Structure 1
Amino acid sequence: MSNIAHTYYPQSGRLVILGAGESGVGAAILGKDKGFDVFVSDMGNIADSYKNTLVAEQISFEETTHSEELILNAALIVKSPGIPEKAPLIKRLRALGIPVISEIEFAAQYTDAKLYCITGSNGKSTTTMLTYYMLQKAGVDVGLAGNIGRSFALQVAREPHEVYALEISSFMLDDMYHFRADVAVILNITPDHLDRYDYKLENYVASKFRMVQNQTENDYFIYCADDEETMKALDKHPTKALHLPMSQLTEETIGAWLTEDKNIVINVPHREQFTMNIEELSLQGKHNVYNNMASGLVAKAQDLRNQTMKESMSSYVNIEHRLEHVACIGGVNYINDSKATNVNSVWYALESFSPDIVLIMGGVDKGNDYEMLRDLVKSKVKAIICIGKDNTRIHESFEEDTDVIVNSASMQDAVSIASHLAKKGDTVLLSPACASFDWFKNYEERGNKFKEAVMAI
């Protein structure tokens, strides 16, 4: 059995994996276990831990190059989500008609587990983790994978589960064709990664809606009825799955909604109705109400008991680098939101705190439109401290909306400036709106450097 109805891809022969990160090495191990002749190729340096795994598994690999003579003879390619479609090698593979798929698509062929798949421009890590936490507390045999946790392919190969909570990015969805989600969640859609989608929002929206492309009438589709782009796209991307909308603005009859007295109500057909006051949620803020609704709807689709859901929603602790409270020093709260790599995430962060905020932002701009932040910056932000190599666009966007915009030379420098500008009762918030790879390896390193600098004050 598998989550791909028929076998569309070669089941033997040469399997080439492009990219030797978590997903690539996991796919290589699954491929080896299924009898493929596996080769792994990475344009960069392979991390020692992954290299050691490949050596121990006797899987051949190369690093710092893609040798075309070793790649173009593949029967099947599994590519890292980070490699864009316009890369010359991918174009060549497409021209030769060699199937190029994602690790999720590859692994789904080899499991009959239930797949609960969560995507969205914002909130997908929190929602996936909360869903996983809730299912675990209920005693479900559940794995956590996708954009988070250990490789899905590796778990299918060596640590199989009955259910998987999968965080799915648009880059993964782009290389998924026959995969089917038992429960598909689209939390929200706001402009992000538009550089990968020819700067066209409709291309990015179409990518997100690949989540529902193979669903049947026995599946569930959870989405936000308050999200403009999602609602506009529903007719263009039909699905047979049962629709479960969630809303904080209107009371629905099915799905999840917020009552006037601030109760979340979750109603899924043939399941016991669930009610919980938002004051009892461990994750506070408007965006987290949606995250709890989505996780609650998945839990109800799995027929979890109300008591287990309540206990989970009131005890869950948020993930690192996402609105993470680092310290309170001299009455100033320091918040690490390094995972906020797009404008909408920063909007959520600013919406979660009261004035006055000293905002640390900047990095590699992915074609950001800062307009949506202007009102919040005007009303809540007393200073912006820029990190990263080029912050021209941040200066241009906000120079009239806040009194202070300054550049910094390092994260330590940024935190030092912030600590001098912030007074008792203020919040220093790292919420960059940008990718990290001009100064840092990834958003985790950026967040850790922020935390180190705060603890050194």
Structure 2
Amino acid sequence: MNEHKDIHATNLPPLGGAGGRLVILGAGESGVGAAYLAQQKGFDVFVSDMGVIADKYKSQLQQWGIRFEEQQHTESEILNATEVVKSPGIPEKAPLVKKLREQGTPVISEIEFAGRYTDAKMICITGSNGKTTTTSLTYHILQKAGLNVGLAGNIGKSFAYQVATEQYDYYVLEISSFMLDDMYEFKADIAVLLNITPDHLDRYDYKMENYVASKFRIAQNQTPADYFIYCADDPETIKGMESRSFNGQQLPFSIIKKEQPGAYLDQENNIIIQTNQQQETFIMSINELALQGKHNIHNSMASGIVSKVLELRNQTIRESMGDFKNIEHRLEQVGKISGINFINDSKATNVNSTWFALESMPKGVILILGGVDKGNDYSMLNDLVKQKVKAIVCLGKDNQRIHDAFTGMVSEIIDTKSAQEAVYVSYHLAKKGDTVLLSPACASFDLFKNYEERGDQFKKAVMDL
């Protein structure tokens, strides 16, 4: 079915308008936002999506008079672009992307494109795990401090759309490795690298060094006036730094050793943050943090360093770190039924995220795992599974690798094909005082649209028990 629509609206610039011809591949939140900004800047815009465009985005494109197509890529419409903005979900090996690269057409991310049209200060956060939590917490602190700040990237509304419609002084951006791959001139005023653990290796030729290189692009183009904040406890980060040079001022954080300037944990379990000698030192007990668990001390430290660099008041930072509500689908308490605790950690789409989740659990876990396996190495979970997990419930179409990894370690491994079935089976395996933890370590696309839908169906199934 060809849903290609030619719309000749009065507000469209002439072909090859002031900015040239911009083609956008992918009509999701970021693509449609980029189309709007491009139109405002006088580009001739065309949007193309290989899938079906969601009604919400389709009606926006129609309303703005932007030409688009769905369920196909018409090469004659795309290969003549001056520049292409690509959705982070489209891999480099897609035939159309290869053709564009071969003919020398610049292919960039929405962040790269929108960054040209704003003078706001950019606070950019990346990492294999914890980036959504840290981005949300940082935004919460800045907002509470009264700064004029936007939230975008992998989270919230499209960055490009906000650049077109708002006048923020600061942006807190959650940046994935896929976005970083298509960023060239863009610069983070404050760059945060939380950690690097194997993830998405299918997109990086199964080479860890390629993925590491992608993550370090967060610090590219920085000057001595900028800041690079990183975790001194993360082995891959430290190893990656040895062969690279950084122009930004380095501020490490650690729960193992004293880092000054930077952040560390003292012997009384207080977070200590100092970014320069002139400032008052920030001190806060980890018991007062809204986010509990070892990995969240790192996340809170990173947000705290950003806040100190921006010279926010200690009182504001302390209050914000104490009253922050964590994001949905990340170690989210769903409820207790018959004394069994249900936790939704659907956002755990890699093994390391699941490790962090298990690490913060008591014993007696029924663990729901599975989905689209991205070349996972489950062995890092072995010790925690032996210590804490009673049974594993698989939620996916193909669970063979989970069976191979954990058979003999737990009393039962059971396959299920829906969130409802997984919850029902888990409930009957658990007893009072146990925890049913959905922390899949895999992407969700085999049975669900995305991790949000997986988490929502899990929560509904718990409520229906």
Task: Tell me the TM-score range normalised by the shorter chain.
Answer: over 0.9
Tell me the residue number matched to 1:71: 78
Deviation at 1:27, TM superposition (A): 0.3
Find out whether 1:317 has 2:325 as its counterpart: yes
Tell me the residue number matched to 1:115: 122
Among residues 235, 255, 261, which one is paired with 2:268 in the alignment? 261
Deviations, residues 404-431 of structure 1 (Å, cap 9, x unaligned): 1111132111100111111111100000
SS of residue in 2 equivalent to 1:25: helix
Where does the alignment leave 5 or more consecutive residues of structure 2 unmatched?
1-16
Find out whether 1:299 has 2:307 as its counterpart: yes
Query: Whole-Å Cα distance in 1 between the matches of residues 143 and 78 of structure 2?
Result: 40
Tell me the residue number matched to 2:346: 338
Tell me the residue number matched to 1:182: 189
Tell me the residue number matched to 1:357: 365
Query: Whole-Å Cα distance in 2 between the matches of residues 435 and 271 of structure 1?
Result: 43
Query: Whole-Å Cα distance in 1 between the matches of residues 157 and 167 of structure 2?
Result: 12
Find out whether 1:227 has 2:234 as its counterpart: yes
SS of residue in 1 equivalent to 2:32: helix
Find out whether 1:166 has 2:173 as its counterpart: yes
What does residue range 383-394 of structure 1 map to in structure 2 within 5 Å? 383-394=391-402
Deviation at 1:401, TM superposition (A): 1.2
2:96 maps to amino acid: L
SS of residue in 2 equivalent to 1:32: helix
Query: Whole-Å Cα distance in 1 between the matches of residues 279 and 53 of structure 2?
Result: 48
Find out whether 1:86 has 2:84 as its counterpart: no
1:158 maps to amino acid: T
The TM-score normalised by the length of structure 2 is: 0.96
Query: Whole-Å Cα distance in 2 between the matches of residues 160 and 23 of structure 1?
Result: 18
2:80 maps to amino acid: N
1:215 maps to amino acid: Q
Query: Whole-Å Cα distance in 2 between the matches of residues 154 and 273 of structure 1?
Result: 38
Query: Whole-Å Cα distance in 2 between the matches of residues 416 and 435 of structure 1?
Result: 22
2:247 maps to amino acid: K
Find out whether 1:248 has 2:289 as its counterpart: no
Query: Whole-Å Cα distance in 2 between the matches of residues 240 and 271 of structure 1?
Result: 22
Tell me the residue number matched to 2:442: 434
SS of residue in 2 equivalent to 1:234: helix
Deviation at 1:215, TM superposition (A): 0.4
Among residues 396, 414, 417, which one is paired with 2:422 in the alignment? 414
Tell me the residue number matched to 2:9: none
Tell me the residue number matched to 2:293: 285
Find out whether 1:368 has 2:367 as its counterpart: no
SS of residue in 2 equivalent to 1:299: helix
Query: Whole-Å Cα distance in 2 between the matches of residues 318 and 356 of structure 1?
Result: 24
1:432 maps to amino acid: P
Query: Whole-Å Cα distance in 1 between the matches of residues 279 and 452 of structure 2?
Result: 39
The TM-score normalised by the length of structure 1 is: 0.97
Tell me the residue number matched to 1:425: 433
Query: Whole-Å Cα distance in 2 between the matches of residues 54 and 272 of structure 1?
Result: 50
Query: Whole-Å Cα distance in 1 between the matches of residues 18 and 238 of structure 2?
Result: 39
Query: Whole-Å Cα distance in 1 between the matches of residues 245 and 168 of structure 2?
Result: 30
Find out whether 1:271 has 2:298 as its counterpart: no
- Number of equivalent positions: 448
Q: Check 1:105–1:279 CA distance in 2 against 1; reply closer, same or farther (3 A cut).
A: same
Among residues 115, 129, 133, which one is paired with 2:136 in the alignment? 129
Deviations, residues 162-183 of structure 1 (Å, cap 9, x unaligned): 0000000000000001110000
SS of residue in 2 equivalent to 1:74: coil
Deviations, residues 33-91 of structure 1 (Å, cap 9, x unaligned): 00000000000000000000000110000000000000001001000000001111001
% same residue: 66
Deviations, residues 218-274 of structure 1 (Å, cap 9, x unaligned): 001000000000000112221110000000000112100001110000110143210
2:171 maps to amino acid: Y
Find out whether 1:395 has 2:387 as its counterpart: no
SS of residue in 2 equivalent to 1:334: strand
Deviations, residues 134-191 of structure 1 (Å, cap 9, x unaligned): 0000000000000000000000001121000000000000000111000000000000
Tell me the residue number matched to 1:447: 455
Deviations, residues 300-340 of structure 1 (Å, cap 9, x unaligned): 11111000000000000100000000011111110000000
Deviations, residues 350-371 of structure 1 (Å, cap 9, x unaligned): 0011001000010000000001
Instruction: Answer yes or no: is the 8 Å Cα contact 2:366–2:426 preserved in 1.
Output: yes
Deviation at 1:11, TM superposition (A): 6.7
Tell me the residue number matched to 1:7: none
Indicate the RMSD between aligned Cα atoms, in angstroms: 0.8
What does residue range 34-73 of structure 1 map to in structure 2 within 5 Å? 34-73=41-80
Tell me the residue number matched to 2:337: 329
Query: Whole-Å Cα distance in 1 between the matches of residues 419 and 91 of structure 2?
Result: 30
1:425 maps to amino acid: G
1:319 maps to amino acid: I
Instruction: Answer yes or no: is the 8 Å Cα contact 2:260–2:275 preserved in 1.
Output: no
Tell me the residue number matched to 2:107: 100
SS of residue in 2 equivalent to 1:16: strand
Query: Whole-Å Cα distance in 2 between the matches of residues 134 and 390 of structure 1?
Result: 42
Find out whether 1:195 has 2:199 as its counterpart: no
Deviation at 1:124, TM superposition (A): 0.1
Query: Whole-Å Cα distance in 2 between the matches of residues 36 and 214 of structure 1?
Result: 26
Find out whether 1:24 has 2:31 as its counterpart: yes
Instruction: Answer yes or no: is the 8 Å Cα contact 2:339–2:433 preserved in 1.
Output: yes
Query: Whole-Å Cα distance in 1 between the matches of residues 138 and 339 of structure 2?
Result: 34
Comparing 330-339 with 234-243, greater Cα deviation is found at 234-243
Query: Whole-Å Cα distance in 2 between the matches of residues 411 and 313 of structure 1?
Result: 33
What does residue range 134-145 of structure 1 map to in structure 2 within 5 Å? 134-145=141-152
Instruction: Answer yes or no: is the 8 Å Cα contact 2:348–2:440 preserved in 1.
Output: yes
Query: Whole-Å Cα distance in 2 between the matches of residues 170 and 300 of structure 1?
Result: 26
Query: Whole-Å Cα distance in 1 between the matches of residues 235 and 302 of structure 2?
Result: 17
